[in-house]
Every structure is written in C-alpha cells, then in structure tokens.
C-alpha cells in the first residue's frame, strides 16, 4: 500500500544531517554549486523505490549554501538518500554533479551498504538499486553516568586492534564474531593483559569494495578500513543488526563496557582521503555535492586530483568548510560517543594547503588542538604522508603525540644485532628528547612501537627476511620492502628448536625494551601470543584467517603472554618509567643518585663511540623513596658478558627479568624476588636483564 506523503516545511540550516524531534525530522546538507536538490525517503535499507521524493525549493529551502527541509511526523528509522543536479565540469571547475546519482549524507549517523556496488557508482547514470542509504536514528542513549576516561598519557599503554579480526576466528568463541559486541566479550582478556587503551583500526563506515581489480578478482575486500566515506557513522559491518539502524547503540555499548573496565578507546581516523578515490572513482557523497571543495585539484586541469595519500585523492582539510566538518566530527565522537582519543592516519596530509603546499600553521590541526571539547582528548599523529612529507619530531602543534617511526626502526635494528647504535638506542629509550625537548614537548609526545597493523607482526618480524604478499593479488608489489627484520637462519616456519627458542627470546626482548622506554608504548594485538600472518606484511585485504587472531595461540604461547602481562605490571609499578619530563642525568627529588646513569658491562663507561657495540646498561632512579630503582642491561651481541652491578647500601639488587631464562623464571613477581649475592651478573647473548633494588 502506497504511503501517504509526509507534509514538509522549510526547515533549518543547522544542524547538518538528519535531526529527529517530536514533530518530525530536519534535514540539512551543504552544496555551494547545486542547482537542484531532492530528498528521497525509503521504508527499508533495501527496498527498490522511495515512497516519497521531495524536491527542495531553491528560494525557500536554501540558506546560503545549505539546503534544508523539515519533514513533519517522519519517524525514526526512515531511510534516505539525496540527489543533486548542477554543473558537470570535471576539467574546468572539478564539479561532478549527476542528477541520477543517489548520494549519502556526509553527516549521516548510520548507513547501510547492503546493496552497494562500487562499480555502478563509478559509472554515470542511475544507481538507485545499488546505492548506499542513510537512516534517521534515535540519538537517545542511557550512558549510566559514563564519561570519557582521563588517564594521564604517561600512564597509557595502547593496544592496537582490528574490531573484525579480533573475534572473527572460530577460536575466539564469541556470540557475535567480528562485531563491537564480540569485542565486548573479550574485555576480560584485555583487563588481564593490563593495557589501558585500545586503539581501533577505522570503525567509521568504510567501503569494503575499495581494492584494486586484481585483488577484487580474488574475492578479497578492503579489510583494514582505511577507505572512509561516512565519518559520523559506525561501520555497519561491525554491527549485529545494522538494518535496524542500531549502529550508535552498539558502538556506545562497547564504549561504556570498556570504560566500566577502566579501558579507554582511541579511534584510528582517516581524514587524509576518502573512498571516492581518483578521477575514475565512485560518486558516493562529497564528489556529488562539491568535489572542488572537498578535494585537492590540479590548478590547470581540475579533473586531476592531487594524491598525497597513495589512495587517489587528498581531502582539502584546510578549506574552511572542510576544516569545520572535520573538527565537528571529532567533537561529535567525543561529546556524543565518549571516545577518549584519535590516531590520525597520514596526518601530515592534513598539513597541506589548498595548493598542496606544506603549511607552518595548518588551521585544521590548530583547530583540533585548540578545540575546548577536545581539550582532554588524546591526539596522535601518523606524522607523514605518502608523498614524502615526514614530520616525526616536527608535527605542527604542541599537544599532539606522534607515532615514532624513528623509534621503531632503531629498536628493530638493535634487536637484530646491528652494531654501533648505542647512543641512538639510549635516546629512543629516554623518550626521543632530540625530537621533542627543544620544542617544549614531552616524552609523551612519542608513541613508541616496534610493530603495528601496517607491516610484519612481531612473530613475522623475527621469522622472515622478506615480505610474502602473493595472496594480495598485486604480485607482491604492495607492502614495505624495508622491514629491518631477521629470520635467524630459516625463512618462515621451522622445527629447529634452537631457532625457535632464539625467536621467542627476541620477542621477549622487544616487549622488554618497549615497556622500559619513556613515552607511550603501543602493542599490536596478537603479538603477545605470537600471531602470524605467514610473512604477509600488508594484510589490508585479508579478511580471513591470515589476519584473524587465532586464540588457540594464547595457550600454545602462554609463556610469551605471561611475560607481557608481567612486563606491563612492572611498568605500572615504576613511575620512573612513566616520567612526564625528560631525564636529566642529575640528582633530583632528594634521591642520592642521578635520575639516570649509563653503563656497559663496566659501570659508568657507556660505549657511546664504539662502532662495534651492541651492549647498553643504565640505572634508573625511582621518583620517590618508596619506589625501587632499576638497573637494566641490554645485550644484543652474540656473546655473553659479565656485567657489574652498582654498589648500593641498605638495599639489595633482586633479579626481576632475564629474557634468557625459560618461563616463568624469565620474569619474577615482586614478592618472589630474591637478592643477588654478587656485584656482577652474567648477561647471556641476545638477552635483557632487569634488577630492582629493595630492602
């Protein structure tokens, strides 16, 4: 039965998107150059035809560049799209209006991609049967008093994970695999691990069909999610019942459950490009509304999009409208969704002006930093882009932390046995003062990591000399070639017990260095039980067992998990590892020793100038009289050494960590530690030893 058309009135310019109230729904959308705008209303996410099409009046339903209409008595749960007509001048103005294309609302809070066909959106003409749709949502939610967590950055331990891959494997044994709900079921595991924050790979709605043709022909899809199109909407693929428009509730349930467990949530966000790709990409929303506003274009030929991201387009982030869109979006996720922070993918692309030039003071980045609503929100930049701009140590602003790619590379080289790195290793362990201190920034500006989603897992870093990406359909052209990895004699899997034992020891060494370093440590999910992608260092398209975490490894590699849990506990009980200010080498706070002193196997003789050196030791003073001091010896050479221990009075050095020992003796809880009855200790080859002093 045909629905009776809903009556309309003029509506309001603000807020953008669809906002329901007791009397109906206000719709508002921006388009500077549209000449005609239609709102299409649907009963479901998948029905063939709209039950009503509303043509907006250019004279009465437009305020400046906002088109708006109020639909009286329209209920929550109504699905909708937009259509716009206007100039089609790709070369002259960069505009791509197509009156037959159904468009997503960029401000939509929930969308469906159930019938989506990317190929149809790349071609001119009607895509009525293959377009994505938005839904009017009920924004009410009972937070039960929840607010974003306020964990000091120096106390943070970040755990990067993929919502889908974390629970999709059958061994996860959750009720709703690959969803926000599935992740909720794993919160007890996260608590036992001891991390303070999860950093989720993109969960804003993205295009799973955005992969190269050869990759798509293999039945693969965009798995990581770095192909966002709807920045206000949780990804429907991570929801249990997205066809019911439950996106917001399901995501908020996750946030509330994490906060109840004392765990913060950081979102990996992609404001550097969108899924609309290059000049031959699909029309989804921004391109059909105002291509020349939202993207960087060549000055002489507007059909050419500047690509600083490697993904076909670059968001024109410092255009006033786009900048406001981005900041409003971030504020929404903090204010209405209670997230605790953001990690910005290829953030340096956001430092470029409308001509692509690098700006000293990019308005969008300063707008984010100075936003009152974001004042206590974690801000983390991947401080580079795909066009050669590298800003680690120089990213605009003061409050931003950075993924420290320099830390990653130095520690990888040190672990594999590269020589002569001792001064650089010491600098990285101390929070990379060379990058941040002169700017008035802090150790917490450095997010330290050795592995992340992009590249080898820890297991594979220690098992492969070369990437093995043939499964991706790109003839292994994709993925990084400079992995700084080492296989210890055999490429990939092996039954050799000597190699296997060395790899396990090196895994513990990585975790020990990472969790003993000043700054903010970040772990990759699954590394703590040696998850492997079998040498694939670019699993962006592998929504399958290559990428999914196999939870059977928790039991198989329980010794590594045990070590990581106890290393996290060690870090948490030592404020000296979580300093907010840089170490000085001076006596501070009434202590009788300097805050840090450097050694080799001989006290007070660090090997700063030795080109062969692979040994570093240091003594780290507790920040108060109640905290034990630490003495750490890192021996990445292939020879055992006998190291001197500092002479102390009234206390004893106790062995806390020795990565050369088998579990559970490789890390000893505080109450089980026993004094060392000697002033020297043998440090095995390629191992790390930590001592704590106590009465």
For the chain, domains (ranges, CATH) are 153-575 (3.20.20.80), 584-694 (2.60.40.1180)
Which tens digit of pLDDT belongs to each residue from 281-326?
999 999 999 999 999 998 888 889 999 999 999 999 999 999 999 9
Beta bridge partners of 30: 66
Provide the b/e sequence for 479-512 (b: ≥16 CB within 10 Å).
beeebbbbbbeeeeeeeeeebeebbbbbbbbbbb
To the query of whether residue 382 is one of the catalytic residues in this protein, the response is yes
Of 345, 385, 424, 595, catalytic: 345
Which tens digit of pLDDT belongs to each residue from 8-31?
999 999 999 999 999 999 999 999
For residue 589, pLDDT over 90 is answered with no
Which tens digit of pLDDT belongs to each residue from 600-613?
999 999 999 999 99
What pLDDT, on a 0 to 100 scale, did the predictor assign at position 2?
57
Confidence (pTM):
0.97
Q: Contact 166/125 with Cβ under 8 angstroms?
A: no
What pLDDT, on a 0 to 100 scale, did the predictor assign at position 159?
98
CA distances from 93 to 292, 305, 677 (A): 7, 12, 79
The pLDDT-based confidence of 686 (bands split at 50, 70, 90) is very high
Using CA atoms, how far apart are residues 636 and 644, in angstroms rounded to an integer?
17
What pLDDT, on a 0 to 100 scale, did the predictor assign at position 119?
95
What pLDDT, on a 0 to 100 scale, did the predictor assign at position 64?
92
Which tens digit of pLDDT belongs to each residue from 345-386?
999 999 999 889 999 999 999 999 999 999 999 999 999 999
Secondary structure (DSSP) of 446-505 = EEE-S--SSS--HHHHTT-SS---GGGSSTT-SS-S------TTSSS----HHHHHHHHH
Which tens digit of pLDDT belongs to each residue from 476-486?
999 999 999 99
Per DSSP, the three-state class of 255 is helix
Beta bridge partners of 158: 197, 522
The pLDDT-based confidence of 499 (bands split at 50, 70, 90) is very high
CB-based contacts of 324, cutoff 8 Å, min separation 6: none
Q: Contact 36/29 with Cβ under 8 angstroms?
A: no
Which tens digit of pLDDT belongs to each residue from 47-99?
999 999 999 999 999 999 999 999 999 999 999 999 999 998 888 888 889 99
Of 61, 207, 250, 382, catalytic: 382
For residue 694, pLDDT over 70 is answered with yes
Residues of the chain above pLDDT 70, percent: 99
Using CA atoms, how far apart are residues 484 and 688, in angstroms rounded to an integer?
20
Which tens digit of pLDDT belongs to each residue from 507-544?
999 999 999 999 999 999 999 999 999 999 999 999 99
Using CA atoms, how far apart are residues 29 and 64, in angstroms rounded to an integer?
11
What pLDDT, on a 0 to 100 scale, did the predictor assign at position 1?
43
């Amino acid at each position: 039965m045909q629905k009776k058309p809903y009556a309309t009135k003029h509506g309001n310019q603000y807020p953008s998107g669809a906002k329901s109230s007791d009397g109906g729904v206000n719709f508002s959308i921006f388009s500077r150059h549209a000449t005609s705008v239609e709102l299409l209303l649907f009963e479901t996410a998948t029905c063939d035809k709209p039950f009503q099409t509303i043509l907006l009046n250019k004279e009465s339903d437009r305020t400046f560049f906002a088109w708006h209409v109020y639909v009286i008595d329209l209920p929550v749960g109504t699905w909708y799209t937009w259509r716009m007509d206007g100039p089609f001048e790709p070369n002259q103005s960069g505009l791509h209006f197509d009156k037959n294309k159904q468009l997503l609302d960029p401000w939509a809070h929930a969308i469906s991609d159930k019938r989506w066909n990317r190929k149809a959106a790349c071609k001119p003409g009607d895509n009525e049967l293959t377009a994505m749709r938005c839904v009017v949502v009920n924004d009410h939610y009972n937070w039960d008093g929840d607010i974003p967590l306020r964990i000091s950055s120096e106390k943070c331990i970040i755990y990067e994970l993929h919502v889908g891959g974390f629970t999709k494997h059958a061994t996860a044994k959750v009720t709703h695999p690959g969803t926000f709900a599935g992740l909720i079921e794993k919160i007890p595991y996260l608590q036992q691990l001891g991390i303070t924050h999860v950093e989720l790979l993109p969960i804003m709605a993205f295009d799973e069909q955005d992969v190269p043709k050869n990759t798509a022909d293999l039945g693969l899809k965009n798995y990581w999610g770095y192909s966002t199109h709807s920045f206000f909407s949780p990804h429907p693929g991570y929801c249990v019942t997205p066809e019911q428009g439950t996106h917001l509730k399901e995501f908020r349930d996750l946030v509330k459950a994490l906060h109840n467990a004392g765990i913060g949530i950081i979102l990996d966000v992609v404001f550097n490009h969108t899924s609309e790709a290059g000049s031959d990409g699909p029309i989804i929303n921004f391109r059909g509304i105002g291509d020349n506003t939202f993207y960087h274009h060549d000055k002489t030929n507007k059909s050419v999009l500047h690509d600083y991201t490697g993904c076909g387009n670059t968001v024109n982030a410092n255009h006033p409208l786009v900048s406001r869109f981005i900041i409003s979006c971030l504020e929404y996720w903090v204010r209405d969704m209670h997230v605790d922070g953001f990690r910005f993918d290829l953030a340096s692309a956001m430092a470029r002006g409308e001509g692509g030039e690098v700006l000293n003071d990019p308005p969008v980045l300063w707008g984010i930093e100075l936003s009152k609503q974001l004042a206590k929100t974690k801000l983390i930049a991947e401080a580079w882009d795909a066009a050669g701009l590298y800003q680690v140590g120089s990213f605009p602003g003061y409050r931003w932390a950075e993924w420290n790619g320099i830390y990653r590379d130095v520690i990888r080289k040190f672990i594999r046995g590269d020589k002569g790195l001792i001064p650089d290793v010491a600098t990285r362990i101390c929070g990379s003062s060379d990058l941040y201190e002169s700017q008035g920034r802090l150790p917490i500006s450095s997010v330290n990591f050795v592995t992340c989603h992009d590249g080898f897992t820890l297991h594979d870093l220690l098992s492969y000399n070369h990437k093995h990406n043939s499964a991706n359909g790109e003839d292994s052209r994709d993925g990084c070639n400079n992995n700084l990895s080492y296989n210890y004699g055999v490429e990939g899997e092996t039954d050799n017990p000597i190699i296997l034992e060395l790899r396990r020891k090196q895994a513990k060494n990585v975790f020990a260095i990472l969790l003993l370093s000043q700054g903010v440590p970040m772990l990759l999910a699954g590394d703590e039980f040696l998850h492997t992608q079998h040498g694939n260092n670019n699993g962006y398209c592998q929504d399958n067992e290559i990428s999914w975490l196999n939870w059977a490894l928790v039991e198989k590699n329980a010794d590594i998990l045990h070590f990581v849990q106890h290393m996290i506990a060690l870090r948490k009980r030592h404020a000296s590892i979580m300093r907010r200010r840089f170490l000085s080498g001076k006596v501070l706070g009434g202590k009788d020793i300097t805050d840090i002193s450097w050694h080799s196997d001989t006290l007070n003789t660090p090997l700063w100038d030795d080109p062969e050196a692979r040994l570093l030791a240091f003594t780290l003073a507790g920040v108060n009289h109640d905290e034990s001091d630490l003495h750490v010896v890192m021996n990445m050479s292939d020879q055992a050494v006998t190291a001197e221990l500092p002479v102390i009075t009234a206390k004893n050095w106790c062995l806390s960590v020795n990565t050369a020992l088998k579990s559970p003796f490789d890390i000893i809880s505080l109450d089980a530690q026993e004094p060392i009855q000697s002033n020297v200790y043998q440090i095995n080859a390629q191992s790390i030893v930590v001592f704590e002093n106590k009465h």
